[in-house]
C-alpha cells in the first residue's frame, strides 16, 4: 500500500475551498486557517494526523480477494488537520466524500471553519464535481 501525503499547512488560506454543498475541498499542498476543523475554535497550531483509505468492496465477491488487491495496489492518503485543545481525537467525525491525487472533498466540517474559506471557483468546480456522466456513475457505483 502506498502512503500519499497531502502536505497541508496552517497559515494564510490557499487551495482550500468550500463548495455549494457545504463541504471542504482541499487541493494538494493546501494551506488551512489555524481554526479547529471540528468546532471552529482557534487551533493554536495543534494538528491531528488523519488517514483516509478510499476503497470499497463489490457486493458480488469475497472481501478477502479485494483486501489482497488493495494491499498491493491501494493508496492511503495522509493529512494533518488543525484542531483545538478542547476537541478529542474521538470528536473527529469528518467523512471522506471523494479523494484522488489532486484533491480531497470532506464533509461534516465545522461551519465556522468553512466560513473562513473562499468558495470553490467555477473552473475547479467542474474538475471536482465532474460532468453529468461522471456524477451519474459515482451515484450508482460509489
Listed by start position, the domains of the chain span 2-141
Instruction: State how far the alpha carbon of 77 is from the alpha carbons of 41, 48, 62, 98, 110, in Å.
Output: 25, 14, 25, 11, 21
Q: Which of 62-66, 71-75, 104-108, 125-129 has the highest mean pLDDT?
A: 104-108
Q: What is the pLDDT of residues 17-29, one digit of tens each?
A: 999 889 999 998 8
Whole-prediction pTM: 0.78
Q: What angle do CA 43, 51, 22 make, to 5 degrees?
A: 60
Q: Are 116 and 110 in contact (CB under 8 A)?
A: no
Q: What is the pLDDT of residues 73-88, one digit of tens each?
A: 778 888 999 999 898 7
Is 80 exceeded by the pLDDT of residue 34? yes
Among the listed residues 21, 51, 50, 47, the one whose alpha carbon sits nearest the alpha carbon of residue 36? 47
φ, ψ of residue 106 to 5 degrees: the values are -120, 145
List, in sequence order, the alpha helices (H) in 1-100.
63-73
Amino acid at each position: 500500500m502506498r502512503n500519499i501525503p497531502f502536505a497541508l499547512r496552517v497559515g494564510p488560506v490557499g487551495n482550500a475551498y468550500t463548495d455549494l454543498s457545504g463541504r471542504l475541498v482541499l487541493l494538494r499542498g493546501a494551506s488551512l486557517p489555524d481554526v479547529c476543523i471540528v468546532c471552529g475554535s482557534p487551533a493554536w497550531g495543534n494538528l491531528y494526523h488523519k488517514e483516509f483509505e478510499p476503497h470499497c468492496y463489490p457486493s458480488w465477491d469475497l472481501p478477502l480477494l479485494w483486501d489482497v488487491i488493495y494491499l498491493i495496489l491501494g493508496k492511503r492518503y495522509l493529512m494533518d488537520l488543525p484542531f483545538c485543545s478542547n476537541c478529542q481525537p474521538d470528536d473527529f467525525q469528518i467523512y471522506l466524500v471523494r479523494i484522488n491525487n489532486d484533491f480531497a472533498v470532506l464533509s461534516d466540517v465545522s461551519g465556522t471553519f468553512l466560513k473562513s474559506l473562499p468558495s470553490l471557483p467555477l473552473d475547479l468546480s467542474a474538475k471536482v464535481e465532474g460532468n453529468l456522466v461522471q456524477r451519474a456513475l459515482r451515484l450508482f457505483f460509489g
